[in-house]
Amino acid sequence: MDPARREAAGSRLERSCHTAFIHSNTLYVWGGYQVVAGEDVTLPSDEIWFCDFDSGKWECKEITGDCPSELSGFCGSNINSTLYIFGGCDPDGYSNQLFSVDVAQPCCSWTRVSDTKGATPSPRNKHSCWVHRGRLIYFGGYGCKTVREVQNTSSSSFTVEEMSWATIGNTLFRCWGWNNEVWVFDPQSSTWTAPEIRGPPPAPRGCHASALLGNKGYISGGVETAELDIFCLDLDNWTWSRFDILPSGAPLGRSMHTMSSISDQVLFIYGGLGVDGNTLNDAWLFNTQRREWMTVKHPHKDKPRVCHTACLGSDNDVVVFGGSSNLCILVDSVAVLRAPRQHHCSDVLIFQTQPYSLCRLCEDVIGGNAELLRSQLDLLPLKLRNKIVKRAACLSAMKPTLTA
């Protein structure tokens, strides 16, 4: 790819508050926003970008069908190659619509998931999702409810932040606030359910991080606490538990960060917006068995990130994409605002979480020095040579194309 095309592709990929997932060694990226001429611009919903990790090449694929409208603060999740988008804010306000698309199909088409059974969650954004046993399990977020809905909701499940005069059906009032609700959607039966939750729940919140370990869903952060908190929901018996950790060993409290499961008992946390107002570049491991935090040394200290995504790649690598390297928050007498700035990123950061096999190490060394070892490559068996050539192309393509 020539330099001009690389720059154009990198510019179109720059984004924050998007969703991403890895399927069949391919990274898929959808949605989010950029800053153009000093204004936030929501990215098109009728396209999805994907990077083949074998070749390192990015491509854009068109999506037809019943596309979501311009969305921010939505929650994206996937079951195999099917991407689900739930909630968010569109030009008409907060949404509780659910959309799906199978990105592995030659011709991708959005489907609005309608005619569902059971009560539907109230409109919301800034929520999260665990995928467990083929179900989508949503937690938390910020949104609106009618006064009647609030009256029928436990005060510990919904924190009213403000009220406004507006009409929702025949209701004249609506309330805005944070929730800690748990909702389950089963795509097979197209059914929504709200399980009966036990145990002391987390405070209502959004902008938190979540991850799944076995049959347990974990959340962290998203609230103004000095230290990063950790809660766990057992998805078999729907019981919450909290990890009590000494403040001296916990990371700084934060929101808009990522959390990934990298083994049967370890979570990996990266970046976010700290309670000190700074965009963070620190990485941490949390051992759920020992209930201990451990800081991680990594090569991306010059790459702070907020509103990014993190996916589990091959060899338990954590693949971080996009986000902002410097989120600026403005506070005036009326509201807290995010200032549009040209700090959106399109680079891929790889965090190695375990020692690589000797085979992987050799592939990386040879692929990274393919020009120097060109004559020796011809001596390799054809299958191995093709694999090394792809690895070399990937390493070569990703470095110049994906720059912040």
Residues 159, 258, 256, 63, CA torsion sign: negative
Query: Are the C-beta atoms of 46 and 62 separated by less than 8 Å?
Result: yes
Residue that terminates a domain, selected from 114, 129, 145? 114
Lowest mean pLDDT among 251-260, 319-328, 359-368: 359-368
Q: Which uninterrupted H or E stretch holds 96?
A: none
pLDDT above 70 covers a percentage of the chain that reads 89
Q: Is the model's pLDDT at 197 over the cut of 90?
A: yes
* Range from 67-71, 211-215, 224-228, 276-280 that averages highest in pLDDT: 211-215
Alpha helices in 105-239 (DSSP H): 147-151
Give the pLDDT confidence score for residue 20 in this predicted structure. Answer: 98
Instruction: Answer yes or no: is 6 within a domain.
Output: yes
Q: Residue 266: which residues within 8 A CB-CB, separation 6 or more?
A: 285, 286, 287, 288
Q: Cα–Cα distance between 19 and 76 in angstroms, integer? A: 5
Give the pLDDT confidence score for residue 287 in this predicted structure. Answer: 95
Give the pLDDT confidence score for residue 8 in this predicted structure. Answer: 53
Domain count for the chain, please give it.
Answer: 2
* pLDDT tens digit sequence for 135-154: 999 999 999 988 888 888 77
Q: Is the model's pLDDT at 115 over the cut of 50?
A: yes
Give the pLDDT confidence score for residue 314 in this predicted structure. Answer: 87
Of how many residues is the chain composed? 404
In eight-state DSSP terms, residue 196 is P
Question: Where residue 404 falls among pLDDT bands split at 50, 70, 90?
Answer: very low
Lowest mean pLDDT among 109-118, 322-331, 373-382: 322-331
Give the pLDDT confidence score for residue 53 in this predicted structure. Answer: 87
Q: Cα–Cα distance between 127 and 230 in angstroms, integer? A: 16
* pLDDT tens digit sequence for 14-61: 999 999 999 999 999 999 999 888 788 999 999 999 998 888 889 999
Q: Is the model's pLDDT at 5 over the cut of 70?
A: no
Give the pLDDT confidence score for residue 341 in this predicted structure. Answer: 59
Q: Cα–Cα distance between 82 and 133 in angstroms, integer? A: 15
Give residue for tokens 């994906």: 402
Give the pLDDT confidence score for residue 400 in this predicted structure. Answer: 35
Give the pLDDT confidence score for residue 89 in this predicted structure. Answer: 94
* pLDDT tens digit sequence for 167-184: 555 555 678 899 999 999
Lowest mean pLDDT among 115-124, 212-221, 255-264, 374-383: 374-383
**Phi and psi torsions of 184, nearest 5°:** -120, 130
Residue that terminates a domain, selected from 114, 145, 171? 114
Question: Where residue 164 falls among pLDDT bands split at 50, 70, 90?
Answer: low
The CATH number covering residue 83 comes to: 2.120.10.80
Q: Cα–Cα distance between 177 and 197 in angstroms, integer? A: 20
Task: Tokens for 130, please give them.
Answer: 């665990």
Give the pLDDT confidence score for residue 3 in this predicted structure. Answer: 47
Give the structural domain span for 385. Answer: 357-404
Question: Where residue 1 falls among pLDDT bands split at 50, 70, 90?
Answer: very low
* pLDDT tens digit sequence for 277-295: 999 999 999 999 999 999 9
Q: Is the model's pLDDT at 96 over the cut of 50?
A: yes
Give the pLDDT confidence score for residue 83 in this predicted structure. Answer: 98
Instruction: Answer yes or no: is 141 within a domain.
Output: no
Instruction: Answer yes or no: is 264 within a domain.
Output: no
In eight-state DSSP terms, residue 362 is H
Give the pLDDT confidence score for residue 154 in this predicted structure. Answer: 78
Instruction: Answer yes or no: is 87 within a domain.
Output: yes
Q: Is the model's pLDDT at 334 over the cut of 50?
A: no
Torsion of CA 113, 115, 118, 124, to 10 degrees: 40
Instruction: Answer yes or no: is 307 within a domain.
Output: no
Give the pLDDT confidence score for residue 336 in this predicted structure. Answer: 47
Task: Tokens for 267, please give them.
Answer: 């979570």
Q: Nearest CA to 288 among 267, 304, 273?
A: 267
Give the pLDDT confidence score for residue 387 in this predicted structure. Answer: 79
Instruction: Answer yes or no: is 284 within a domain.
Output: no
Give the pLDDT confidence score for residue 397 in this predicted structure. Answer: 61
Residue that terminates a domain, selected from 80, 114, 148? 114
Q: Is the model's pLDDT at 62 over the cut of 90?
A: yes
Average pLDDT rounded to a whole number, residues 117-124: 96
Please give the residue that has the higher pLDDT: either 397 or 140. 140
The average confidence (pLDDT) of the chain is 88
Q: Is the model's pLDDT at 161 over the cut of 90?
A: no
Average pLDDT rounded to a whole number, residues 105-132: 96
Task: Tokens for 266, please give them.
Answer: 């370890």
* pLDDT tens digit sequence for 18-28: 999 999 999 99
pTM of the model: 0.89
Query: Are the C-beta atoms of 230 and 244 separated by less than 8 Å?
Result: no
- What DSSP line would sit under 30-84, residue for residue? E--EEEETTEEEEPPSSEEEEEETTTTEEEEEEEEES---S-BS-EEEEETTEEE
Instruction: Answer yes or no: is 197 within a domain.
Output: no
Instruction: Answer yes or no: is 289 within a domain.
Output: no
